[in-house]
């Protein structure tokens, strides 16, 4: 079973990639792709070496919440897991 990379803190990602023999800056690159560029796959992370992208793909997934319902009151119902929807509200 793959793990959600969003469950890792930057420190945990740093430790993991160092344990895999990657240089320290790799965790910052992955973090930037996941949190700044909102990547949903590892394959587009072309500034990472192909073997690292393949290993990340084999061991992790990027599980972003998806909106399963929207109402006129601008409330969204994102689905965090298949069995646990959560309410949120937008204050635009």
Sorted by where each starts, the structural domains of the chain and their CATH numbers stand as: 3-61 (1.10.150.530), 65-92 (no CATH)
- pLDDT, tens digit, 9 for 90 and up, residues 14-32: 999 999 999 999 999 999 9
Kindly tell me if the per-residue pLDDT of 58 is higher than 70. Answer: yes
Dihedral angle over CA of 29, 22, 44, 8, nearest 10? -60
Query: How much is the pLDDT for 4?
Result: 96
With CA atoms as reference, report the closest residue to 61 among 19, 14, 9, 6. 6
pTM (two decimals): 0.71
Q: Which two tokens stand for residue 57?
A: 């793909």
């Amino acid at each position: 079973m793959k793990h959600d990379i969003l469950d890792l803190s930057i420190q945990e990602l740093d430790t993991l990639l160092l344990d895999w023999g990657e240089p320290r800056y790799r965790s910052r690159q992955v973090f930037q792709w996941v949190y700044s560029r909102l990547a949903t796959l590892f394959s587009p992370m072309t500034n990472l070496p192909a073997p690292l992208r393949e290993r990340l793909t084999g061991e992790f997934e990027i599980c972003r919440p998806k909106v399963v319902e929207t109402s006129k009151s601008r409330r969204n119902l994102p689905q965090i897991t298949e069995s646990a929807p959560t309410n949120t509200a937008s204050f635009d």
